[in-house]
Amino acid sequence: MNLVTLPLETPSPAHICPFDQACSYLEQAAKELRMEQGLLEVLSHPRKVVTVSIPVKLDNGQVQVLAGHRVQHCDVLGPYKGGTRYHPAVTLREVSALAMLMTWKCALVGIPYGGAKGGIALDPARYSVGELERITRRYTSELIKDIGPSVDIPAPDIGTSAREMAWMMDTYSMNVGHAVPGIVTGKPISIGGSRGREMATGRGVMIIVREALADRGKTLAGTRVVIQGFGNVGGAAASLLHEAGAIVMSVSDVSGGIYNPNGLDIPALKAYAAQNHRSIVGFPESKSITNTELLALPCDVLIPAALENQITEDNVHEVQAEIVAEAANGPVTLMADLALEARGITVLPDILTNAGGVVVSYLEWVQGLSYVFWDEERVNREMEGLMVYAYHQVTKESKMRQVPLRLAAYTLGVGRVAQALTDRGLYP
């Protein structure tokens, strides 16, 4: 696909370009499904790519112009849905890849959404709260005609949280003249957010790991886990796995990692990070390790929960886990995926493993549209039902087609979207 190349884009090596990898997985699924070439062409291209300039007045009076993207991949099953990422490495190709993944993910877990993603190339740590608010509001205003509660519904992703969603919701609402809670998910409970949303992606990761262990006759109790990333997803997964009796031996964030072979006290670590500018480094009763060392630790389950392209051709031979659970989007490159498969290491694919977040986003949207709000127990129960069902469908498909779990997940997700597109027909 020829996406517009922006001046701000940093080219990634061809073999780890996120969009090329996403297309490659799509092509594998299409081959498995014997999909017509024309249909594959349609699904290989995002339906809409929007790039906007975001001029922001900084606290020192200077004006800076940032580039913001929103890519809408395919809305054949329902409104577009996808997170908003604030990170210096955001590029249009990365956002396009993530939008495509969202399409398959929503179809896989059976929720009526299409895939989208947004992002701004910035390091949120370098901006004040006021600057971030102005950036978020201007970005939302620029996208006002492209988003909407039945058109495209943003959510949090790396570098954004309920706070940014509240600003987006308020900006949209002020522009249209009335409160529109359904414009975003992952917002604070005070303005229509769902109970359970904050922990949802991490909870979904815990559920999928639990099911995969159960298939091997094992339980979470006593399972040795290593987690890269201690943000929304990694932090929640760590807490829930710890609660379930798993030994969380090592976790890391952007500043480094910590390791204790007997297991880290995750509640104490969370309290420590809260008082230490959200950094885990220096936590007592642990040894410092690098992110590279963390990925090579012997363990039962390795959970990359930070960024893309963390397990690559260069370090895949060092992985010593029985299961790699992709909590982040695209943490294992295409080549590394093949190498893990060849070594008999199970990869629980991102479009299944981290789908808990979009499932609860969907439940939040449903609650918002019906003006009936559920308790957390019900939200968790509904999410768990959809996640467990999807897991068993993927394992069944994998056995039936004799393919790895990732390809099985793709054939299910892509197959459902292709079927819907065929049934609806090509407009005009």
Residues noted as catalytic? 117
The residue (of 140 and 160) whose beta carbon lies closer to ligand NAD is 160
408 φψ region: left (φ > 0), alpha (ψ -120 to 50), beta (else): alpha
In the list 51, 276, 291, 419, the residue contacting ligand NAD (rule: CB under 6 A) is 291
The residue (of 114 and 234) whose beta carbon lies closer to ligand NAD is 234
All residues at 6 or more sequence positions from 356 whose CB lies less than 8 Å from its CB, including other chains = 200, 201, 202, 203, 204, 205, 207, 383, 387
Is residue 140 close enough to count as binding ligand NAD by CB under 6 A?
no
Mark the segment that binds ligand NAD (CB under 6 A) among 229-237, 281-289, 314-322, 387-395. Answer: 229-237
Is residue 230 close enough to count as binding ligand NAD by CB under 6 A?
yes
The residue (of 226 and 403) whose beta carbon lies closer to ligand NAD is 226
The b-or-e profile of 152-183 (16+ CB within 10 A means b, else e) is bbbbbbbbbbbebbbbbbbbbeeeeeeebbbb
| Alpha-carbon gap, residue 402 to 366, rounded angstroms | 36
| Alpha-carbon gap, residue 397 to 409, rounded angstroms | 8
In the bound complex, what is the minimum distance in angstroms from residue 232's beta carbon to ligand NAD?
A: 4
Is residue 363 close enough to count as binding ligand NAD by CB under 6 A?
no
195 φψ region: left (φ > 0), alpha (ψ -120 to 50), beta (else): beta
In the list 75, 133, 253, 397, the residue contacting ligand NAD (rule: CB under 6 A) is 253
- Tell me the two tokens of residue 253: 């964030």
Mark the segment that binds ligand NAD (CB under 6 A) among 22-30, 138-146, 321-329, 415-423. Answer: 321-329
Mark the segment that binds ligand NAD (CB under 6 A) among 31-39, 55-63, 129-137, 303-311. Answer: 303-311
Alpha-helix residue ranges (DSSP H) falling in 222-349: 232-243, 266-274, 291-295, 334-342
Is residue 158 close enough to count as binding ligand NAD by CB under 6 A?
yes
The residue (of 306 and 418) whose beta carbon lies closer to ligand NAD is 306
From residue 371, alpha-carbon distances to 191, 368, 388 in Å are 12, 5, 27
Q: Which of residues 332-351 bind ligand NAD (CB under 6 A)?
A: none
The residue (of 133 and 253) whose beta carbon lies closer to ligand NAD is 253
Is residue 329 close enough to count as binding ligand NAD by CB under 6 A?
yes
Is residue 306 close enough to count as binding ligand NAD by CB under 6 A?
yes
Mark the segment that binds ligand NAD (CB under 6 A) among 16-24, 69-77, 154-162, 376-384. Answer: 154-162
In the bound complex, what is the minimum distance in angstroms from residue 61's beta carbon to ligand NAD?
A: 29
In the list 84, 136, 223, 228, the residue contacting ligand NAD (rule: CB under 6 A) is 228
DSSP 73-119: EE-SSSSEEEEEEE-TT--HHHHHHHHHHHHHHHHHTT-S-EEEEEE
Is residue 164 close enough to count as binding ligand NAD by CB under 6 A?
no
Is residue 354 close enough to count as binding ligand NAD by CB under 6 A?
yes
Is residue 357 close enough to count as binding ligand NAD by CB under 6 A?
yes
| Alpha-carbon gap, residue 229 to 220, rounded angstroms | 20
| Alpha-carbon gap, residue 160 to 86, rounded angstroms | 6
Q: In this structure, which amino acid lies at residue 396?
A: K
Which residue is nearest to ligand NAD, using beta carbons? 231
Binding mask 368-407 toward ligand NAD (x if CB under 6 A, else -) reads: ----------------------------------------
Mark the segment that binds ligand NAD (CB under 6 A) among 171-179, 230-238, 380-388, 416-424. Answer: 230-238
In the list 232, 286, 309, 312, the residue contacting ligand NAD (rule: CB under 6 A) is 232
Strands 320-325 and 298-304: parallel
Q: Determine the 3-state secondary structure of 201 from DSSP.
A: helix
Strands 346-348 and 320-325: parallel
Is residue 71 close enough to count as binding ligand NAD by CB under 6 A?
no
Q: Determine the 3-state secondary structure of 193 from DSSP.
A: coil
Backbone angles phi, psi at 227, to 5 degrees: -125, 125
The residue (of 135 and 327) whose beta carbon lies closer to ligand NAD is 327
In the list 305, 336, 351, 363, the residue contacting ligand NAD (rule: CB under 6 A) is 305
Footprint of ligand NAD (CB under 6 A)? 156-159, 201, 228-234, 252-254, 291, 305-307, 327-329, 354, 357
